[in-house]
A and B are shown apart, each in its own frame.
Chain A
Amino acid sequence: MSKANLLDRRAVVSRLLKDRKGAIAVGGLGASTYDIAAAGDHDRNFYLWGGMGGAVMIGLGLALAQPTLPVVVITGDGEMLMGMGSLATVGLQKPANLSIIVLDNEAYGETGGQVSHTAASADLVGVAKACGVLDSRAISTMSEVEAFAASLHDVRGGPRFANVKIDGANLERVLSSRDGAYIVNRIRGSLGHTPI
């Protein structure tokens, strides 16, 4: 399955979240959540184990509520395809502190590797740009990942979108907590909000 010259997803995510400071990271259902967990558990990690298609909208709700903090959505091509309309919603709201990264292996890795639309025809960078997310780019090298990682912390320069073509290898799962109330309350606690 793996092709030469494609980036390793864990290396990409670990670089994106290195020196994250106060950033909140949202991981889409599936391997992206494992990648975020692999980069290190953190009280501002928003792990998703369901709600497919909702990762960008969760990121938007967070970004609007916390405009001074970087909010980073890291998801897969299948999850992004299911919530493609949310790019139009982000394009309309233009949250300057929101960054969206799609780890694009052109497949539904979690269900057996069936090919996704991005393998043949769908261009998510084009979709994001056409939806009004003007800073939308395709990434294929680690130096581009590094540049993007630095830009995440500019909370006045977004929204921004990056599609990273990654190696299709199925890596060992790194399981995060899957208790939603715990995950959300831990983020809230880190922001100074108390339980009801």
Chain B
Amino acid sequence: MSDPNERTAGERFTGHGSEWKSAALSAKEAQGATAWVEQIIDRRSMLTNKDRVEDVRDAMWQLEKDGEILVHRVSDEHRPVHVRTLYGWDKKIPTTQLWHHKSCGQCGNIPGYPTSLLWLMNQMQIEYLDETDQTSCTAWNYHGSGIGNVESLAAVFLRNFHQAYVASKAQGLPEGYYYPLVHCGTSFGNYKEMRSFLMHSAKLRERMRKILGKLGRLVDGKLLIPEEVVHYSEWLHVMRDEVAKRRVIDCSAIRATIHPACHVYKMIPEDAIYDETVLDGNRVAVSTGIMQTLGTQVIDYSTWYDCCGFGFRHIISEREFTRSFAIDRKIRVAVEEAHADVMIGHDTGCITTLDKNQWISKADGRPVGLPVLADCQFAALVCGAHPYKIVQSHWHASATETLMDKLGIDWRARKAEFEEYLKDVAAGRGETLYDPRRMITSGPGYKRLGQPG
């Protein structure tokens, strides 16, 4: 390499002409002059404080004081971990007594996604409730079709979060015992948007009081608003060291690319976790944090910020767009530029899009294949979860087998076990991760049970 300070003929460094003279700062002076930009300090909290950008949670506390709403708190019993968000603000992530707010896309076609999450929780003795009294957030349909509106979305948000608050009563536990954990990125973004609109609009709150009142879902006549809207990937992030302790498969040879989900970190960006220990806090921490902690190599690529191409309606009715985008701007870049072994995501729509839209690349003669998994599926896999019974990798269209080969997992044998196990399942002897009687907390099918565990 040539000396950067060497000047070659024809290359002048002469300022504005003959009057130029060197300021001749010493190397130390030069370094000192820009040292301020190199300091890794408490910078985001210092520079973008709440005088500059509004924190909707402050509006919540005020409305609670005014007696308009009740805030469902992340309390000590939820054993919260404090994290920092984009501007250095605090966010409380509950780690136990969690109410699973499932994702329809995950449950519908990537069932290994929630299963892996629940399996990890079982490994770590995390208390949770998975029940039938919940709806989709309805935001996929809304963003895709335009059917729905701010009132319907807000009402669904308030209804589901109210159910999370009262579900514990079925077990004879106090209200607020369980804290909602949102599985879907679309729901996570949507619920935070709705919370923000609710805090800003007295009119919307008034409408909601009427509707939620009709459903019997007010608390002391007030709307119930969660202190934090929490995504499962945030839970996984704060639990990453605990998870890594349970890792049984070496994954240091794995080159992982991360696909961060737009509705997770771009929507309400001030609420996304940035962690100094994860890429110096310059990229959203979830997924990257757990993958690094598990020991994989996280590889950057030039289209990291791009969306997956899901498009809500595009994946159904504008498929050329979705598959072109997924292949050309994500999968092919990860394979050819980053030489990735896997792409890891943390949202329903992205995983579906990136996983399912690879086969069609054969059509233009440039086939591309890259295993696509959710962060919690990868974590479960390397912690010894069964690749089919738990990770349910057979629902993935992408070549998860190549990843398992590289991890040294004998997937053919595991698959044969699973196919054998299907006979037990067909005979009604399937295994479950929790007592199925707990899944109904009221209405048809409800039977009163004692307190858990």
A, B bound: no
- Residues of B whose CB lies within 8 Å of any CB of A are none
- Residues of A whose CB lies within 8 Å of any CB of B are none
